[in-house]
Amino acid sequence: MSVNVPLGPLLDPAFHLGSVPTTWAELLGFATGAVNVWLVVRQNILNWPIGIANVILLGLVFLDGGLYADAGLQVVYVALQLYGWWVWLYGGDGRDRLPVRRTRGAEWAALIAAGAAGTAFLTWALATWTDSTVPFWDALTTALSLMATYGQSRKLLESWWLWITADLVYIPLYFYKDLKLTGVLYIVFLALCVSGLLAWRRDLRGRPLAPAAAA
């Protein structure tokens, strides 16, 4: 099954990288994505509205490129971005004060179980119901990204490791699908994720020790 949706001028070429066209949606997704991750690294709450714009733009890019799970993921991302925005506003001791913390054992177990189940289901669905040429990799990156976004919304330090793992798969996947600018964007994302991991780790180490939570 192929998906053909009139997506308007955002999918018109902005320029070409060699013979490969780069659309306005991909170009604007590059810009908003880089700003979004930079703001997350700085724990700035404006990352959430910028992130909503980013996922809408990238959803158009992925739908046009046949990455259907990634396109559908962007709809879920909007809901998660709104949830994260609310948690960062009201989940800590005052605005922007939700503290960075480690992921508990029970949270890891739930995330891994959900990620494995999501990957298996999406692989089957994409192979069965779409013309995707990369059903497993599309499903895997979708599951990892959902896990990472949830962790980011709770300011879990290890969410950066999930993003790093996802980016290491996304980069060759996007180049394979001729989404070259998006592939470059995810190289930038990878560097920003490493920076974010180090920054959040410093923030966590600089906080007073809290009573150990049950794993």
Has residue 12 been placed in a domain?
no
pLDDT tens-digit series, residues 95-131: 457 889 999 999 999 999 999 999 999 999 989 988 8
Tell me if 42 is assigned to some domain. Answer: yes
Residue 177: CA count within 13 A, CB half-sphere? 25
The values of phi and psi at residue 131, to 5°, are -95, 25
Name the band, by pLDDT with cuts 50, 70 and 90, for residue 201: very high
Task: Show Cβ contacts of residue 58 under 8 Å, excluding neighbours closer than 6 positions.
Answer: 25, 29, 33, 70, 74, 182
Residue 10 domain-assigned (yes or no): no
Domain that holds residue 143: 19-205
Q: What is the pTM of this model?
A: 0.75
* Structural domains in the chain (count): 1
Token pair 């733009």 in the structure block, residue? 57
Of 8-17, 22-31, 149-158, the poorest mean pLDDT is in 8-17
In a domain, 3, yes or no: no
Tell me the percentage of the chain whose pLDDT exceeds 90. Answer: 36
Note whether residue 138 is domain-resident: yes
Residue 6 within any structural domain of the chain: no
Find the mean pLDDT for residues 37-65.
87
* Residue 4 covered by a domain: no
Is 9 part of a structural domain of the chain?
A: no
